[in-house]
């Protein structure tokens, strides 16, 4: 603090050394991402078709092209700690149009997996895990929906675990097998107490 | 005049040439007599093989243990001398072979080095200089098939090199003296395709004193270049520099121009190609053809009276379908030859044109296709390109949105002789656009399997030129160029890029993700990312020009198969060597000019055409070509005269003849390509494939399988 002599803290951030140093690069990160995603981010030539196709980019700071570049260079920390990683809607428009036939969406999914291993994940994603565990749905049915369905002449609950709650057990088995629920509960507890 | 000659001369030529061809056939057995009597016996001599191992710098020595290979080679049967050298292909390397042949009384040479495609001729020459027959040389490929592919497996690569040498020594021990055969070369050439490449090649050949047949499938010569408005980077008017050349081609005494014609069949080999040309029914007589029919002063003079009365209207392909033409038509006023053509697919045979033509009697609505045969020594393929059907990339809306055009359509729209007289307008409403976006790499550099993986090479530059043209013609216009990289690689190209940027074109570094149309205004909304700002862009423009990829022209595949030319993975025709022989092909006597070998701009196309013409003229000027003597030979005492080989031969090189009261097979050596089909099939083992004879091949297999024991 002494150095900024009362200037706003932001200045220190502004004046920080932002150069890319070789020791930030982890070539094995590129390989790990390629293995999980089963696609080829190292072939990216940065044309921007992905970002331009992205429904998230125009209204957020999420830049899919930047993440593919980070996976190409092996910038593990920069990629995994960037909260933008969680702004992909997984619509797959970028994958449809990529001229180098990369699946950028799958690159994002792979990096999310790697981030989760380091407990880097927004709480709302974990709440979704908990919702799936208890109801079988990421977005469970509610009374408004039920009323609307009735009005349209449909059964109030869709023919899923909502109507057949006996199958929730199977879903819970899968989530338990990968310890997803356990980890979700643990992290939520750590963050929210 | 030219047309008249076409029909008569080939016929006359055939008659004069036949005896010559027959003579060479008759001579062949006499020539072959020496080895043919009993080729097997010539193998009996004691073999002394010299083996030379090349380091190729570190190319080979880097991953193969040369001393180990040398020690191994010394242990092989028949090996009289082993040596190694840094670069065997260098003068000292070749000298080693020459002196050792005399010193060690060698009968066969093995060089373990690169591919025979690279240096077999070099070492054959060294063998010859040493006093041996050049065909007593055998190459062991330990580079392309050894050190390069097993770079990280020294032990394996060394073992493989030893195998390769053992196999080569086995063959070299059994090699025979062979004498190459010379055949005369017809003093005429053919150029297929009369775009700028074909025209240039034909003019060069003709100016070198060679009779040249120029074949064009369209009714006029000129090709793609005649559709262009201006040319980068000099901004010359394309027609202004092209039409004088077109006229030269039409006038050149040595060029026999055949438009509206295509190659129907090709037979023969270098020096003696018999080409059948289909002259498609044109429905119109040239003045020369009319004269031949006894119509004095008749034939088409290009007056266009027929055009006026014809009731059938069709889109003109020369104008990319943006201007009408009649069923009897010319593409544009500068066509060469200036002869109308009837489109028989759309002609209703009302006969109005025949009446309008009157006494000239130029129109014959009953005309049929005609086959013409010509004999040529060499051929140049200048087959050109088509636009990639860019509607396959659906996200850009070509053929769906009216104001999205491809670059060739843009050329016609901006061209003074085009459908709009050079006033650029939007197809939807005829309004002059004020904001125009140019999309580069549209369908090029695309690995999705929909577009083309290669760079089409001239789109960057013509799009810069397009931007210049609209700035020049439309006050207040704003061109946007969406690019990934600007490839301005040629002479004065980077300067041109500088100039266009200075003129006000905006360069947006990002590939366009998709285009949407505003249905009310027919304006187009472009979604891209400015990758340099790291921000998505949404840009509304009046018109979009797609710099679509190019692909081989429609007829390329059919024609290349007739001439036996291969294509590379991307569909373009395969050159003999990408760097050292870009105009040659693997078929001797057939050469490539222009874009059919790969995308080229006009300067490169012309250079390539001149290269092809020069290469194609060499065998003609020398007057004879040497054929590699890999012919089949009949071992007459074994031949049962069953004739099965005669039917199998893909080159019609074999025949049954009477000899001493029985039938035996006879080979026309000039036709035989040494493919071995007959030799492999002959039930009696009576066919001897020179240089690939059964004992030689069996020795190689034995050497590999049995490790040298035989």
φ and ψ at B263, to 5 degrees? Answer: -75, 130
With an 8 Å Cβ cutoff, the interface of chain B facing chain A consists of 395, 441, 445-449, 451, 484, 509-514, 527-531, 534, 536-538
| Residue A120 pLDDT class (50, 70, 90 cuts) | very high
Residues B226, B106, single domain; the answer is no
- % of chain B beyond a pLDDT of 70: 93
Domain that holds residue B241: 182-280+369-384+559-626
Residues B497, B478, single domain; the answer is yes
- How many degrees, rounded to 5, is the angle at CA B41 between CA B35 and CA B46? 115
Residues B49, B174, single domain; the answer is yes
Dihedral of alpha carbons A174, A176, A177, A180, sign: positive
Query: CA B676, CA B694: separation in Å to the nearest integer?
Result: 10
Cβ contacts of B597 within 8 Å, gap of 6 or more: B572, B573, B575, B582, B583, B608
Task: Give tens-digit pLDDT for B531-580.
Answer: 999 999 999 999 999 999 999 999 999 999 999 999 999 999 999 989 98
Report the residue of chain A nearest B539, measured CA to CA: A52
pLDDT of residue B2: 41
Q: What is the CATH number of the domain that holds B429?
A: 3.50.50.60
Residues B51, B166, single domain; the answer is yes
Report the residue of chain A nearest B509, measured CA to CA: A47
Residues B106, B90, single domain; the answer is yes
φ and ψ at B534, to 5 degrees? Answer: 65, 35
Nearest-CB residue to B534 (from A45, A47, A63): A63
Residues A42, A67, single domain; the answer is yes
B388 to A99, B322, B500, B600, B694: CA distances (angstroms): 16, 18, 26, 15, 49
Residues A78, A113, single domain; the answer is yes
Q: Mutating which of B512, B531, B537 best tests the A interface, going by the most A Cβ atoms within 10 A?
A: B531
Q: Quote the number of domains for chain B.
A: 5
Residues A100, A154, single domain; the answer is no
A159 in a domain, yes or no?
yes
Nearest-CB residue to A51 (from B395, B509, B536): B536
Nearest-CB residue to B529 (from A43, A65, A93): A65
Q: Quote the number of domains for chain A.
A: 2
Regarding predicted confidence, which is higher, A63 or B267? Answer: A63
Residues A76, A111, single domain; the answer is yes
Are B529 and A66 an interchain contact pair (Cβ–Cβ within 8 Å)?
A: no
Q: Is a pLDDT exceeding 80 seen at residue B35? A: no
Minimal CA separation from B524 to chain A, in Å: 15
Are A52 and B534 an interchain contact pair (Cβ–Cβ within 8 Å)?
A: no
Are B510 and A63 an interchain contact pair (Cβ–Cβ within 8 Å)?
A: no
When mean pLDDT is compared across A24-38, B375-389, B573-587, the lowest value belongs to B573-587
B77 to B46, B70, B170, B266: CA distances (angstroms): 11, 14, 8, 47
Average pLDDT, chain B: 92
Q: Is a pLDDT exceeding 80 seen at residue B15? A: no
Task: Give tens-digit pLDDT for B43-70.
Answer: 556 899 999 999 999 999 999 999 999 9
pTM of the model: 0.83
Residues A108, A137, single domain; the answer is no
Residues A109, A70, single domain; the answer is yes
Residues B352, B418, single domain; the answer is no
Task: Give tens-digit pLDDT for B166-175.
Answer: 999 999 999 9
Are A47 and B514 an interchain contact pair (Cβ–Cβ within 8 Å)?
A: no
pLDDT of residue B627: 83
Q: Residue A135: exposed, middle, or buried by beta-carbon count in 10 A (0-12, 13-18, 19+)?
A: middle
Residues B470, B537, single domain; the answer is yes
Residues B467, B353, single domain; the answer is no
CB B396 within 8 A of CB B514: yes
Nearest-CB residue to A57 (from B451, B509, B536): B536
Domain that holds residue A33: 23-117
Among B671, B639, B665, smallest CA distance to B652 is for B671
A13 in a domain, yes or no?
no
Nearest-CB residue to A100 (from B447, B530, B538): B447
């Amino acid at each position: 603090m002494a150095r900024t002599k009362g200037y706003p803290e932001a200045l220190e951030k502004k004046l920080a050394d932002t150069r890319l140093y070789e020791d930030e690069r982890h070539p094995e990160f590129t390989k790990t991402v390629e293995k999980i995603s089963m696609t080829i981010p190292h072939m990216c030539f940065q044309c921007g078709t992905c970002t331009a196709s992205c429904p998230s980019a125009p209204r957020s700071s999420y830049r899919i092209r930047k993440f593919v570049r980070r996976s190409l260079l092996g910038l593990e920390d920069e990629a995994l700690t960037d909260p933008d990683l969680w702004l992909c809607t997984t619509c797959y428009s970028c994958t449809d149009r990529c001229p180098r036939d990369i699946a950028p969406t799958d690159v994002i999914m792979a990096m999310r997996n790697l981030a989760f291993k380091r407990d880097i994940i927004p709480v709302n994603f974990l709440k979704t895990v908990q919702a799936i565990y208890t109801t079988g749905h990421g977005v469970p049915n509610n009374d408004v929906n039920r009323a609307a369905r009735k009005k349209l002449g449909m059964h109030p609950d869709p023919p899923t675990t909502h109507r057949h709650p006996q199958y929730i057990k199977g879903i819970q088995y899968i989530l338990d097998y990968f310890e997803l629920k356990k980890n979700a509960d643990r992290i939520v507890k750590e963050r929210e107490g | 005049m030219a047309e008249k000659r076409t029909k008569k001369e080939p016929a006359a030529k055939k008659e004069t040439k036949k005896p010559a061809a027959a003579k060479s056939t008759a001579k062949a057995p006499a020539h072959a007599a020496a080895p043919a009597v009993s080729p097997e016996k010539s193998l009996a001599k004691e073999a002394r093989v010299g083996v030379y191992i090349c380091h190729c710098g570190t190319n080979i020595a880097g991953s193969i243990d040369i001393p180990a290979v040398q020690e191994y080679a010394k242990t092989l049967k028949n090996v009289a001398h082993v040596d190694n050298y840094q670069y065997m292909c260098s003068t000292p390397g070749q000298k080693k072979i020459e002196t050792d042949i005399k010193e060690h009384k060698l009968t066969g040479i093995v060089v373990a080095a690169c591919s025979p495609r690279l240096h077999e001729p070099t070492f054959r020459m060294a063998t010859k200089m040493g006093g041996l027959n050049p065909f007593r040389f055998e190459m062991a490929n330990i580079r392309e098939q050894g050190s390069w592919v097993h770079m990280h497996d020294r032990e394996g690569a060394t073992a493989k090199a030893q195998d390769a040498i053992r196999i080569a020594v086995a063959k070299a021990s059994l090699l025979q003296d062979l004498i190459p055969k010379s055949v005369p070369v017809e003093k005429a050439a053919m150029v297929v395709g009369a775009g700028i490449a074909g025209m240039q090649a034909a003019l060069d050949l003709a100016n070198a004193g060679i009779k040249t047949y120029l074949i064009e499938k369209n009714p006029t010569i000129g090709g793609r270049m005649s559709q262009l408005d201006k040319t980068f980077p000099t901004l010359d008017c394309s027609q202004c520099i092209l039409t004088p050349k077109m006229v030269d081609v039409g006038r050149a005494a040595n060029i026999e121009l055949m438009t509206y014609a295509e190659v129907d069949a090709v037979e023969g080999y270098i020096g003696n190609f018999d080409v059948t040309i289909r002259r498609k029914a044109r429905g119109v007589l040239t003045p020369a053809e009319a004269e031949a029919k006894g119509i004095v002063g008749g034939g088409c003079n290009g007056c266009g009276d027929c055009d006026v009365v014809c009731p059938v209207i069709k889109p003109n392909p020369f104008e990319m379908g943006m201007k009408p033409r009649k069923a009897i038509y010319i593409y544009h006023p500068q066509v060469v030859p200036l002869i109308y053509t009837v489109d028989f697919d759309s002609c209703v045979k009302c006969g109005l044109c025949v009446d309008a033509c009157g006494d000239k009697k130029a129109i014959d609505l009953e005309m049929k296709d005609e086959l013409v045969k010509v004999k040529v020594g060499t051929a140049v393929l200048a087959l050109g390109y088509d636009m990639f059907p860019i509607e396959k990339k659906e996200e850009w809306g070509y053929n769906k949105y009216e104001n999205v055009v491809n670059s060739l359509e843009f050329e016609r729209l901006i061209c003074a002789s085009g459908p709009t007289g050079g006033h650029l307008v939007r197809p939807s409403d005829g309004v002059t656009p004020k904001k125009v976006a140019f999309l580069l790499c549209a369908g090029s550099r695309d690995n999705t399997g929909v577009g083309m993986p290669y760079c089409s090479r001239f789109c960057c530059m013509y799009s810069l030129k397009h931007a210049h043209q609209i700035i020049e013609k439309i006050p207040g216009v704003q061109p946007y160029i969406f690019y990934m990289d600007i490839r301005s690689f040629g002479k004065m190209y980077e300067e041109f890029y500088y100039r266009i940027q200075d003129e006000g074109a905006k360069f947006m570094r990002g590939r366009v993700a998709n285009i949407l149309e505003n249905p009310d205004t027919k304006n187009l909304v472009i979604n891209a990312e400015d990758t340099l700002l790291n921000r998505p862009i949404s840009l509304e423009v009046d018109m979009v020009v797609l710099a679509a990829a190019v692909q081989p022209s429609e007829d390329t595949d059919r024609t290349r198969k007739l001439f036996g030319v291969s294509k590379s993975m991307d569909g373009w025709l395969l050159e003999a060597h990408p760097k050292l022989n870009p105009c040659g092909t693997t078929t001797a006597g057939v050469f490539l000019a222009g874009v059919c070998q790969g995308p080229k701009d006009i300067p490169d196309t012309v250079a390539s055409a001149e290269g092809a013409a020069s290469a194609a003229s060499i065998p003609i000027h020398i007057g004879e070509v040497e054929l590699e003597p890999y012919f089949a030979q009949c071992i007459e005492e074994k031949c049962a005269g069953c004739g099965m080989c005669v039917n199998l031969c893909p080159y019609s090189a074999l025949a049954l003849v009477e000899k001493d009261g029985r039938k035996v097979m006879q080979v026309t050596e000039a036709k035989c390509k040494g493919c071995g089909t007959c030799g492999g099939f002959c039930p009696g083992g009576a066919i001897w494939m020179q240089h690939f004879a059964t004992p030689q091949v069996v020795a190689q297999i034995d050497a590999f399988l049995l490790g040298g024991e035989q």
